[in-house]
Structure 1
């Protein structure tokens, strides 16, 4: 919640939104709104929150570049060490590993920033009394920042999955550091927390889900569907933008792929939050159209990554309530 919003105002907005969303916005098929994910600029009222998110996103670019360039890490040096009892050689190796471990701790710390900014953005997108499509149209700069956060989350996790040496280096360092010294500069961070972060298959997605959980806990008087309706509405905005020829003519290739990543990320979030999930027959998300648009607007390798995300990072994909034809559609490259 923004710092300039009083608690009584927040409670009032929650009540208004709860009443309106119980009866309105029942047509989830199309949301004919163009959200400029590349060029939307904040109003004076939005500037503080927009800049908060921008600071996180600037760090996100650095973090993504860093994890993408991790490579073999300390593996070449670790593979040369024949015996952990060679203390002098171990000291040299640990000096090599210190900056790598510091980088890894930086990833963990950045996930905490994601967890903190998500509830703020969700509040801005969902708390006003307007129907959600109008709220999105009026808060384009905030929607843009939320979309970019989701895009980063998916990109980071893809890179982390392809960099097994990150967790190998960290585990090795944690196992042998006590042999060499006790005063590692980053010892203030609890190593088990970082280890748990690395053991997650999709650690940034977990941070994103935690941020949504924090938002829902902080605004427990709002029905769950008020939060999931935000996800559905943004998905349907992306569907419209990727299906309408006039909108398509305004989108760059990077914007098209961002729309695909946003749809994927929000389907995953919806599936984690909603009791029945995103894949049931009566889901408000047109999953077949989402899959069609992902395949049509992403290079095959990128589309495969997004479809794999739908298969392996959702809660309900393998439930018996998921139609077999939908499973097959998502599994088909």
Structure 2
């Protein structure tokens, strides 16, 4: 496996390891059915979450009114407006919890064979990475998210509107849940980071690696998924524009995660990731998301500026 993947870094497209994956039409086998069903149920809200983020209506005007003129009426109005918004923010925060269970399935035994064998699970892993990319793109265009949660947290910390909150059971439950285990603090830090969901996915993956001592297996999983997405696009296994964009996004996020998980990163000469071929695929096929994909590689990777990164690779990404 190592010798096959190491060829990915030599700059020859034909040497990129080609996994036999069909990401567009994967269906669960009997062996993966139970896990697929369980994880699918967790990931089911994906489209709903992204649509709610696209249509997110901030509470900025009411919050500004409550701050500039803090009457009980204005504060109550702002508080009531921010409640459903915070419920959505909490839902976004909890999304990536299925990732460790998927990684466990791939890391038992031969990783490459598992990716090919459990293609429906591989597609679910790709769905999580794609969601992270799209979520962060939308989040960065929605500054009201952080403003709304900051107001919510400040109000909680002051203990204001306690009586009003207690008149609504669902609000009481939400407040109790967010105070418990300092969840409000965690969510606040979560939204403060520019690429919120990618950071969460990276942290969850890194924690899984550390707890289970599976760095090599997870790295193989990520480099294998990146290669599968690369071939899906360059060999035209996916034809629909939305699937081409999907595969390119997953390829990029896989590279970013690999660069954070592997001690040597994705850019050195021993890496199984062929950065030149990946960038070429983005340049050739990523018309719709070229700028976003290249920016993600440049600003979200960890080892790009290391001394071990070849100068031509740095130059390849520095101009984008």
Pairwise same-fold verdict (TM > 0.5): yes
Q: Provide the alpha-carbon RMSD of the alignment.
A: 2.2
Question: Is the aligned partner of 1:257 residue 2:245?
Answer: yes
The residue that corresponds to 1:237 in the other structure is 228
Question: Is the aligned partner of 1:58 residue 2:56?
Answer: no
Work out whether residues 24 and 243 of structure 2, in 8 Å CA contact, stay in contact via their aligned partners in 1. Answer: yes
Structure 2 Cα separation of the partners of residues 275 and 217 of structure 1? 12
Q: How does 1:206-285 map to 2 (within 5 A)?
A: 206-220=199-213, 222=214, 224-244=215-235, 248=236, 250-285=238-273
The Cα of 1:27 is off from its aligned counterpart by: 4.1
- The 3 A distance-change label for structure 1 pair 24 and 324 is closer
Of 34, 51, 54, the residue aligned with 1:48 is: 34
The residue that corresponds to 2:290 in the other structure is 303
Q: How does 1:1-333 map to 2 (within 5 A)?
A: 27-28=7-8, 29-71=15-57, 73-81=58-66, 83-110=68-95, 114=96, 116-129=97-110, 132-177=111-156, 178-181=159-162, 183=165, 184-185=171-172, 186-187=174-175, 188-189=177-178, 190-220=183-213, 222=214, 224-244=215-235, 248=236, 250-300=238-288, 302-333=289-320
- The 3 A distance-change label for structure 1 pair 106 and 250 is closer
Structure 1 unaligned segments of length 5 or more: list them: 1-20
- The 3 A distance-change label for structure 1 pair 180 and 293 is same
- The 3 A distance-change label for structure 1 pair 208 and 98 is same
Alignment size in residue pairs:
300
The Cα of 1:23 is off from its aligned counterpart by: 7.3
Structure 2 Cα separation of the partners of residues 325 and 128 of structure 1? 36
Structure 2 Cα separation of the partners of residues 84 and 308 of structure 1? 41
The Cα of 1:249 is off from its aligned counterpart by: 5.3
Work out whether residues 238 and 259 of structure 1, in 8 Å CA contact, stay in contact via their aligned partners in 2. Answer: yes
Work out whether residues 238 and 244 of structure 2, in 8 Å CA contact, stay in contact via their aligned partners in 1. Answer: no
Structure 2 unaligned segments of length 5 or more: list them: 9-14, 166-170
**Is the partner of 2:134 in helix, strand or coil?**
helix
**Is the partner of 1:168 in helix, strand or coil?**
helix
**Is the partner of 1:317 in helix, strand or coil?**
coil
Deviations 1:122-173 (A, max 9, x none): 22223134xx443322211111111111111111111111111000011122
The Cα of 1:44 is off from its aligned counterpart by: 1.3
The Cα of 1:82 is off from its aligned counterpart by: 6.0
The Cα of 1:199 is off from its aligned counterpart by: 1.1
